[in-house]
Amino acid sequence: MRKYFLFFLLIFGTIAHAQIIQGKVVDEISGEPIPFVSIGVIGTNNSTVTNDAGEFVLKNIILPAKLRYSHVSYLLLESEISTANNLYVKLKAAAINLKTVTIDPYRGERLVKAALEKTKEFEKENFYGKAFYRQLTTIDGKAKQIYELFYDLKFNVSNVEGWIAKQSRFAESNEGISFSMSNQSYLTFLLAGSLFEGRKMGKYVSLKTLKDFEITVERYIEQKEQDVAVVSCKYKGKKKDFYTNFTYYIGVDDSKIYRLESSAFNLPLKVNATSKMPPNVTTVATFNGANTPIPVLESISTKLFLHLSTRNRSISPVINSMLTVYQLDKNLNTQNFTELNKKIQDKTVVESIAYNPDFWKNNPIVKQTALEDAFIKMMESKSAFGTMIDTQ
């Protein structure tokens, strides 16, 4: 009996000391927030990424713990923490080396080719993780609609292959003109990778299309382990084509991709309004290779820009989405995942799951920027999430 008592006492003691850590990461010199910083608990699979405001949340942390802060443009920082108080973390910018950029004009192409070949070795390997997705629509700078979903994901180095929605909520303001992007999650999932081989639409960087792009090393970021080359790939074809420019952050020694920024132009999207100019989308994807053979998706931010004319007025909707894989878990592979499909509507998925306000209340993963926080609080005050739409 005494053994059982000690066993349960040990479990209770462990749970009792689990903490929620919140903090902010800023530039050491300017004090400006740093988005997309990877923060991981050393020795565990627990990690997160800072949002646009440099803020982060980590849950279920047993103190004391050692945290690792990494960003391709800043020096790696590891620090021990013994308190759950809000952390204010300063990162030192890595040195930038421009001296060797113009020596070899083909250096950039070789770096990208080596990185894509390295990534292609793992294209059939699947990874599994828990993720949080938020999509915020603004019109002329004013928040109008928000989706939030928790997913279990199946993904690889190319994209998210399958998903299971676990929790969801949606709210919308009906004041003035509204606009809805019905399946931007599909676009986010589709772009959530670093290998774009075999794409049937548009002009992407791939092993077969390198000659279609002007490839230049912009700079080298001097990290302790290795230099990281920042390589831009700009499409050389017709500007009326549906094409994507890329900027790769590639390890010079290991040929691994740690960050990928893209700008896609002339997307073939259909909207129920007159488009004044072709839509375009920008993405920032970060990849973490701390516990995997190849850096895998950690986060992807997608921003879709539209310029429309409707009801005799011009509007400029911007749809921001952020997908964060906050925990890798290979045990999720036994589930039946819904395959990636552009015909699936986000709102239909949201409404298929009963809204659970207790789940969302004070959820440590749900961390907002100031604009998102203000809109969510307004919607919660009107019970808009419970009714699915603000009718006040």
For the chain, which domains are there? 2-93 (2.60.40.1120), 107-387 (no CATH)
Checking if the pLDDT of 190 tops 50, the result is: yes
Per-residue confidence band for 133, with pLDDT thresholds at 50, 70 and 90: very high
Residue 53 vs residues 69, 242, 317, 354: alpha-carbon distances, Å: 16, 31, 21, 31
Continuous segment of H or E residues that includes residue 204? none
Report the pLDDT value the prediction gives residue 2, as an integer from 0 to 100.
Answer: 47
Report the pLDDT value the prediction gives residue 278, as an integer from 0 to 100.
Answer: 78
87-91/18-27 β-pairing: parallel
Query: Is the peptide bond between 295 and the residue preceding it cis, with omega within 30 degrees of 0?
Result: no
Q: Which residue has the higher pLDDT, 100 or 339?
A: 339
Per-residue confidence band for 173, with pLDDT thresholds at 50, 70 and 90: confident
Question: What's the pLDDT tens digit per position in 288-320?
Answer: 887 788 999 999 999 999 887 766 778 888 999
Which percentage of the chain shows pLDDT scores above 90? 49
Phi (first) and psi of residue 290, to 5 degrees: -60, -40
Per-residue confidence band for 11, with pLDDT thresholds at 50, 70 and 90: very low
CA distance 390 to 62: 40
Report the pLDDT value the prediction gives residue 4, as an integer from 0 to 100.
Answer: 45
Checking if the pLDDT of 103 tops 60, the result is: yes
**CA-based Rg of the chain, rounded to a whole angstrom?**
22
What does pTM read for this prediction? 0.86
CA distance 22 to 365: 10
Mean per-residue pLDDT over the chain, rounded: 85
Report the pLDDT value the prediction gives residue 74, as an integer from 0 to 100.
Answer: 94
Which percentage of the chain shows pLDDT scores above 70? 88
**In this predicted structure, which of 6-10, 61-65, 205-209 has the lowest mean pLDDT?**
6-10
Say which DSSP state 365 is in. Answer: T
Per-residue confidence band for 14, with pLDDT thresholds at 50, 70 and 90: very low
Checking if the pLDDT of 326 tops 80, the result is: yes
Per-residue confidence band for 370, with pLDDT thresholds at 50, 70 and 90: low
Per-residue confidence band for 272, with pLDDT thresholds at 50, 70 and 90: low
**In this predicted structure, which of 5-14, 86-95, 227-236, 252-261 has the lowest mean pLDDT?**
5-14
**In this predicted structure, which of 216-225, 272-281, 351-360 has the lowest mean pLDDT?**
272-281
CA distance 198 to 201: 9
Q: Supply the DSSP string of 84-99, one letter for each residue.
A: -SPEEEEEPBPEEE-T
Per-residue confidence band for 369, with pLDDT thresholds at 50, 70 and 90: low
Report the pLDDT value the prediction gives residue 273, as an integer from 0 to 100.
Answer: 56
Per-residue confidence band for 231, with pLDDT thresholds at 50, 70 and 90: very high
Per-residue confidence band for 338, with pLDDT thresholds at 50, 70 and 90: very high
Contact 66, 79 (CB under 8 A): yes
Q: What is the mean pLDDT of residues 342-347?
A: 87
Q: What is the mean pLDDT of residues 207-234?
A: 94
Checking if the pLDDT of 271 tops 70, the result is: no
